[in-house]
Structure 1
Amino acid sequence: MTIDFHNPDYYTNRELSWFDFNFRCLEEARDKNNPLLERLRFLGITQSNVDEFFSVRVASVAKLVDVNYDKPDAAGMTPREQLIAIHEKAHQQVSQQYSTLKRSLLPLLADINVHLLRPEDLTPKQTEYIEKYFNDELYPALTPMAVDTSRPFPFIGSNTLNIALRVNKRGHTTEQQFATLQVPDVFSRVVSLPDAENDFILLDDIIKQYIGRLFINYDVQEAATYRVLRDMDLDVADEDTSDLLKEVQQQLKQREHGPVMRLEVAKKMSKKLRHKLAESLDVPEFAVYDIPGPIDLTFCNEMAKKVTGHDDLNYPPFKSYQNPALDSHHNIFDTIRQRDYIMQHPYDSFNPVTELIHQAAIDPDVLAIKMTLYRVSGNSPIIKDLGTAAENGKQVTVLLEVKARFDEEHNVHWARTLEKKGCHVIYGLMGLKTHCKLALVVRREEDGIRRYMHMGTGNYNDVTARFYTDLSLLTANTEMGIDASNIFNMLSGFSEPPYFHLLHISPNGIRDFLTEKIHNEIKNAKAGLSAHIWMKMNSLSDADMIAELYEASAAGVKVDLLVRGICCLNVGIKGVSENITVHSIVGRFLEHSRIYCFENQGDEQVYLSSADLMTRNLNRRVELLFPVMQPDTRERVITIFKTLWADNVKTRCLLPDGVYKHVGHRGTEPHNAQREFIRGAEIKVMADQEARAKDLEASSHQFQPLMSPHNQPEPFSDENKED
């Protein structure tokens, strides 16, 4: 019997699977084993996740509904059905978020004398403080906007906090009028109060307490907070524009005025005010959210940062391991020329990556540096060193993706900065986003030209490298170097190499290569040989790749998948996915690395990639997949995967009913993979420190002056100048 591996019953809708992921984040806010302030941060993370989801993904679905597009997705849901289901899930999640805040986190914080207060809860001294703060700081910055026949409803920016008001002229109680006021985002949302170490109040509560002072000779009947999330998806038709940079800048201006995807209003807001907002902002009822608490929970992260005297309620700090051979005291090119290096961030320091670019910028033997940049930090050392390299006369070529979502404006700025320094900057490719992570350094050496490379699964961002888990490869492999040169020639000019030696790129190349590897495991399974596939990624949503994995499972291939976020594959389908197991880890660090491994009859083949198994990554982005070939580095990646797979503390396992359930460790030893990696890094740091201490001790004995302690010269006497 032929199995239709594309049967819609075998798939989960992508958007609904995303809600399952965000609920796993919410579970971390509820987990009593997490430090309390970290639980508060996780609650804030669930809000920022929702905000981006509505501004991009829900906006995309809404556009399809607007044009009456009714083709179902892989799970058989039309865009209209998806939109309705999304809002149903989102309303449920709001209830869960605020239940977590009010019933769990705030009471626990109160137990340790950390309070989020309302104006009526304040001491006289605190009341005096917020009144003075309002008069001296806030009042001059506030701008009430009246709405009447001569003044239309003002534009409300996406993700801004606002206060809607009903007012009437004093003595005219029946003639109510409407006004709105934006809460200025130049002030901290969480305000620390005097009279107690950890008493806080929200900025919007202060403003509402004294808002009547903005309406002289008027009475405020109602003041309630609200917020909108707009369509913020950038739609750059770069195949139709001759200047991508200008087009992106123009689209950024237009994006701010996209249609409203979600309207959040205070639950206590009157029906009259609620209706006024929904009508003025053109929001359907199902997209209006009654919020039973402070709107916009991202304030939780700010509050957690301001709590003092409770360091024990944060994750304990740890120091990343810095391989001495890759630090600034060594010539990094001499080091990489000897062997490949795998680094696992944040447990391994990101410094060697920035050090590679830094040394390349000042090394007189370096001829050229070529890099792809997708997201960089606000004070990126890599950007500075690329500028220095260009000023030092080196050929510097940077593909800086100006279409990187929500980093567009940031990247436009860096593109201009690099151009002024003399770098050749490519802003992206027509119709594609360049998402691969590749750096190539070309160096003249005694035996000829040599290429040094960094390839990774994560961005060249020294800040996110501290809390995103990613893998990096440093290598001088000749064949990879030739491939890397060909990739940059494709990106910067007109070149179509007939083949690559070891590297694989998307569009299409990664899909074809992984499909070939899956089919090889299927062939081995059918021949009665052991067959196993290990994969780790952020998201799995491409229907064709899922169908390939279903086919492998049906043939007897064991498939182990670590999928942090979206997973449209279903497990436990008889004859289809009985050999597939899906784990998801949500913990202290964001699991961001992509690993693709194949048993290959006992000779394991290991690959790392910038690409998830999503249609956009495989079809519409420039992505990179590269092998890990050196035996010890290959074994390390396999060990990393196995350690993650053995996690029974932060792992949820996907069940046949679509529910994610904690693996659990009752009766067994608990294994928290991220903690084990931290411990491994700490052990290496301590071992390195001990080795250095022994070296210093040996060196001090070796050069001990031949004199007694009593007649040694003073440390800075003239006799020691030569030293």
Structure 2
Amino acid sequence: MSKPEQQTNYTNSMYINRDLSWIEFNRRVLEEAQDPTTPLLERIKFLSIVSTNLDEFMSVRVAGIDDQLKAGLTKKDFTGYTPEGLFRRIMKRTGKMVQDQYKAFRELSRALVKEGLIFTACEDLTAAQKKQMDQYFLDRVFPVLTPMAVDQSRPFPLVHNLSLYLAVTLLREGDDPEEEPYFAIVQVPSNLPRFIKVPARSNSLKQEFVLLEDLIREHIQTMFPGYGAVSVDAFRLTRNADLTLNEEGAEDLLEEIEKELKRRRWGSPVRLEVQKGFHPYALDMLKEEFEIGDNVFEIDGPIDLSFLMKLSGALPDFEHLRYPKLEPEYPREFDDTDDFFEVLRRRDVLVYHPFESFDAVSDFIDQAAGDPAVMAIKMTLYRVSGNSMIVNALAKAAEAGKQVTAIVELKARFDEERNIAWARQLEKAGCHVVYGLVGLKTHAKIMLIVRQENDGLRRYVHVGTGNYNDNTAKLYTDIGLFTSQPVIGEDASVLFNEMTGYSAPHDWQAFGVAPTDMKSKLFALIAREAENATAGKPARIIAKMNSLSHQEMVDELYAASRAGVTIDLIVRGVCCLKPGVPGLSDKITVRSIVDRFLEHSRMFYFENGGEPEVWLSSADWMTRNLTRRIELMCPVFDPQLKETLINILRLSLTDNTKARVLMSGGQYVRADIEPAEPLRSQFAAQNIVTWKGRRDAF
């Protein structure tokens, strides 16, 4: 192992705190932005992701801890932290992370300059450039700006969550500079580009950009004639954005969510970001209005670096600064046929995104929508893209007279408005739209197609680890299984009946389903490995997921380790389990892979005494997934496909380039795995088409 890149001291508990573990995950994302071997425009994308990750963390997780503090709660969580102690540590560590993030931004800005990409201050523009930017401001920006004064007759306006503003302190012309200044705010329009391309200087190939807030600051006088600006400083407020729904008392869940989305605008303040050198009078005004206390982050650079994601995509002539473009392969099993059903009657098919194309999923449902023999289509929709071919295919199927049922999860955080729009569109097309069960989010990823064939009705099923979203399928690693296995089809029918109607608990033939029996099924599978280890039989668990934070699950894994089970966990983000603790978890390893694509697939391998079982799942091993969501795990029966999944897991376990290994103290170190030849699992996985199902692939 290499030396720890960053020491982190956790409590002496048997567990790592979930929120502190999340901070370490975002630190690993930041490391990708700091890594000089990562292409430059990819590095600024990672810097953007750090910002958006931190925004959600603050508006949901930190907001929840803040609520606990306001309620006076002092009870320790299972990792040994009180809300107050945890809040202090979070703010300290996120503050340090933000400092490192902006240090990386300044370094990357210098690297961009060397490539001819420059963020230019307005005062550094040439006369010709300034004239053109003046015109841009007058034509495009000024008409949509609204200066909002704050005084006795005009109370403090609503400051929107995560929107950028300018705080303006002013003096009337001729006033004594010692007098109390006037105060106003101006919202930086979010519907205008954050960065503006400046016309090139004569005889220069360099591309220059001006930030929108800098352009507004340069022209602030146009909004306050008769006053002089003492200071113009950027700020941004983070509010509590977690929805609090009264699902039991709601007559119409859709209407209740729409109301709650409006209330989100008034969520209690959690974090205030201010530009470095912020005017003291303006800062006092904001702190008093928001009652924010000391939760103020001073930012040495542009507030909110999420705009870097769009900047990275807006430079078509700089492909040499990106990863080589990946062209997903169309799954070879479907490549020479237009009849998915004929293929699936013969065999199951596994598709590995983004290395294999999500078009196969879209084409499958599109064929079903146009097939006269298809009687019914049922599917879950959690996060859907903005222009979804799948939603269009469902609408087409309903209009053709098929029975179409869509379970649309309206409570998918930050996608609520989009899902409401999709739900209404599907209802207009004649689909049966169900909003899920009260108190539960529908997070399972499953599609069922019922088809009339010569020998009777046959069920075709697609089960995935990721959402039915063609955009994220290009950015996330996920697995999809197409099958016509009768037991899977029968379980799928029962699952949809449970989600749309009234149904007693079911004894599943193949599935594990949360919140009813997935947890107990996983516990039984883990216990079986422990029994096999005790009996001297082969015993091993390999589990790949996004997060592991369920205390009972951690305890079951500890028990299996003490029984002698070898356990390899591949956990991208939060992990509350401490590996490598003598007498507790010395048979457990935990690694995290952060690379070009977001590791998103959930796969569980159990040795089963030499007859391995492999499962695909929508669920992480978190409390919310196992107890408060409808989740699904599905076995893979085909031996060849099982071998493919085992190969994918092996790749992750042998990655010595982008993998970090969790130490018992809570810190992550770079993996150093023999042989010394570099192996990068995501790059090696691009050869999936040639090694699918091969036992000798590694």
Which of residues 637, 647, 650 in structure 1 aligns to 2:645? 637
1:146 is aligned to 149
Specify whether residues 85 and 576 from structure 1 end up closer, same or farther in structure 2 by C-alpha distance, changes over 3 A only: same
1:137 is aligned to 140
Which of residues 446, 455, 464 in structure 2 aligns to 1:456? 464
1:9 is aligned to 13
Structure 1: 5+ residue stretches without partners: 1-6, 685-723
Instruction: Say yes or no: does 1:184 pair with 2:193.
Output: no
Instruction: Say yes or no: does 1:193 pair with 2:202.
Output: no
Residues in 2 aligned to 1:679 and 1:601: alpha-carbon distance in whole angstroms:
31
Q: How does 1:83-482 map to 2 (within 5 A)?
A: 83-102=87-106, 104-173=107-176, 174-195=179-200, 196-285=205-294, 287-327=295-335, 329-482=337-490
The one-character-per-residue Cα deviations of 1:540-568 (angstroms, maximum 9, x if unpaired) are 00010000001111111111000000011
Say whether the 8 Å CA contact 2:661–2:670 is kept in structure 1: yes
Specify whether residues 202 and 682 from structure 1 end up closer, same or farther in structure 2 by C-alpha distance, changes over 3 A only: farther
Residues in 2 aligned to 1:8 and 1:359: alpha-carbon distance in whole angstroms:
57
TM-score normalized by structure 1? Answer: 0.92
The one-character-per-residue Cα deviations of 1:225-270 (angstroms, maximum 9, x if unpaired) are 0001111111112122121111111111111110111100001112
Tell me the CA shift for residue 154 of structure 1.
0.7
Tell me the CA shift for residue 50 of structure 1.
0.4
Say whether the 8 Å CA contact 1:537–1:593 is kept in structure 2: yes
Tell me the CA shift for residue 530 of structure 1.
2.4
Tell me the CA shift for residue 664 of structure 1.
3.8
The one-letter code of the counterpart of 1:186 is N
Which of residues 596, 599, 615 in structure 1 aligns to 2:623? 615
Say whether the 8 Å CA contact 2:445–2:632 is kept in structure 1: yes
2:7 is aligned to none
Instruction: Tell which deviates more after alignment, 62-71 or 373-382.
Output: 62-71
The one-character-per-residue Cα deviations of 1:317-353 (angstroms, maximum 9, x if unpaired) are 1211112442584211111111001111111111121
Instruction: Say yes or no: does 1:67 pair with 2:71.
Output: yes
Residues in 2 aligned to 1:81 and 1:657: alpha-carbon distance in whole angstroms:
19
Say whether the 8 Å CA contact 2:331–2:351 is kept in structure 1: no
Q: Secondary structure at the match of 1:53?
A: helix
Residues in 2 aligned to 1:508 and 1:428: alpha-carbon distance in whole angstroms:
15
Instruction: Say yes or no: does 1:566 pair with 2:570.
Output: no
Q: How does 1:444-523 map to 2 (within 5 A)?
A: 444-523=452-531
Specify whether residues 308 and 426 from structure 1 end up closer, same or farther in structure 2 by C-alpha distance, changes over 3 A only: closer
The one-character-per-residue Cα deviations of 1:579-621 (angstroms, maximum 9, x if unpaired) are 1100100000000000111111111110010000000000000
Is the radius of gyration larger for structure 1 or structure 2?
1
Tell me the CA shift for residue 306 of structure 1.
2.7
Tell me the CA shift for residue 138 of structure 1.
1.2
1:602 is aligned to 610
RMSD: 1.5
Say whether the 8 Å CA contact 2:654–2:673 is kept in structure 1: no
Tell me the CA shift for residue 71 of structure 1.
2.5
Instruction: Between the two structures, name the one with larger relative contact order (CA 8 Å, sep ≥ 6).
Output: 2
Say whether the 8 Å CA contact 1:649–1:665 is kept in structure 2: no
The one-character-per-residue Cα deviations of 1:399-455 (angstroms, maximum 9, x if unpaired) are 100011011111111111111111111012110000000100001100011000000
The one-letter code of the counterpart of 1:194 is P
Say whether the 8 Å CA contact 1:248–1:403 is kept in structure 2: yes
Say whether the 8 Å CA contact 2:333–2:349 is kept in structure 1: no
The one-character-per-residue Cα deviations of 1:607-658 (angstroms, maximum 9, x if unpaired) are 0100000000000000000001110011110011001111111000111221
Structure 2: 5+ residue stretches without partners: 1-10, 693-698
TM-score normalized by structure 2? Answer: 0.95
Say whether the 8 Å CA contact 1:10–1:569 is kept in structure 2: yes
Q: Secondary structure at the match of 1:238?
A: coil
The one-letter code of the counterpart of 1:532 is R
Specify whether residues 380 and 308 from structure 1 end up closer, same or farther in structure 2 by C-alpha distance, changes over 3 A only: closer
Residues in 1 aligned to 2:492 and 2:541: alpha-carbon distance in whole angstroms:
27
The one-character-per-residue Cα deviations of 1:281-332 (angstroms, maximum 9, x if unpaired) are 12111x1110011100112212222335321101111211112442584211
Residues in 1 aligned to 2:550 and 2:251: alpha-carbon distance in whole angstroms:
32
Residues in 1 aligned to 2:225 and 2:532: alpha-carbon distance in whole angstroms:
82
The one-letter code of the counterpart of 1:515 is F
Say whether the 8 Å CA contact 1:403–1:428 is kept in structure 2: no
Aligned length: 676
The one-letter code of the counterpart of 1:41 is K
Residues in 2 aligned to 1:369 and 1:462: alpha-carbon distance in whole angstroms:
19
Say whether the 8 Å CA contact 1:237–1:431 is kept in structure 2: no
Residues in 2 aligned to 1:118 and 1:682: alpha-carbon distance in whole angstroms:
51
Tell me the CA shift for residue 83 of structure 1.
1.5
Tell me the CA shift for residue 681 of structure 1.
4.7
Say whether the 8 Å CA contact 1:572–1:656 is kept in structure 2: yes
Specify whether residues 441 and 213 from structure 1 end up closer, same or farther in structure 2 by C-alpha distance, changes over 3 A only: same
Residues in 2 aligned to 1:418 and 1:293: alpha-carbon distance in whole angstroms:
44
Q: Secondary structure at the match of 2:596?
A: coil
The one-letter code of the counterpart of 2:570 is L
Residues in 2 aligned to 1:585 and 1:438: alpha-carbon distance in whole angstroms:
26
Residues in 2 aligned to 1:99 and 1:296: alpha-carbon distance in whole angstroms:
14
The one-letter code of the counterpart of 1:98 is Y
Residues in 2 aligned to 1:8 and 1:499: alpha-carbon distance in whole angstroms:
41
Residues in 1 aligned to 2:221 and 2:632: alpha-carbon distance in whole angstroms:
58
